[in-house]
Structure 1
Amino acid sequence: MPDKELAERVARLERQVADLTERSADAAAARVLAAGADHDVAQVRAELRAHTGTLNALRQDQVDLREEMRDGFATVNRSLRQIIGLLGDARPEAETSD
């Protein structure tokens, strides 16, 4: 009987060792996957920061352009008012007596 008990104990231990080896391999694979996922997340975050920076720069360009256009239109309006004023002064007398 002792030989049979020993054989059962050895078989049980071998199954436990095989199970632990499999679990260890699974844990190692999970660590590799987690490291890869962490690297991927870091890349996505870096790209997102780059895109955000690009959008912020584009927004600032649009704000600057809007200000330049307002200044330019204001200058054109002043010039047109001045031209209209000069033309009004240059109208013939017959037109101004209406």
Structure 2
Amino acid sequence: MSCCSSEGHHSGGGTDIAFTAGITTVYTVTGMTCGHCEQSISAAVSALDGVHAGQADAATGPVTVVSAAEPSDALIGTAITNTGYTLSGRASAH
């Protein structure tokens, strides 16, 4: 279940986060449809210990995470699931 109506509508804007140096990992997430979805996921991921920043993109589905060390996929997955979305897996890691 996402934060949006069944038609995918919600008022709200996207989130722009300036990333700092660290390990960048991109995850694929399903269920995002708007800026509020992006904000919910970005905030949940960014709140995790060791994460410098997180940014979700509802238009294409990735969530980019910048962390001090290799991120825990399980912790990222739990944060995303707790916001009502589905983590499909890693898209790539840099």
TM-score by length of structure 1 reads 0.19
TM-score by length of structure 2 reads 0.20
- Which of structures 1 and 2 has the larger relative contact order (alpha carbons within 8 angstroms, sep 6+)? 2
Q: Which has the higher strand share?
A: 2
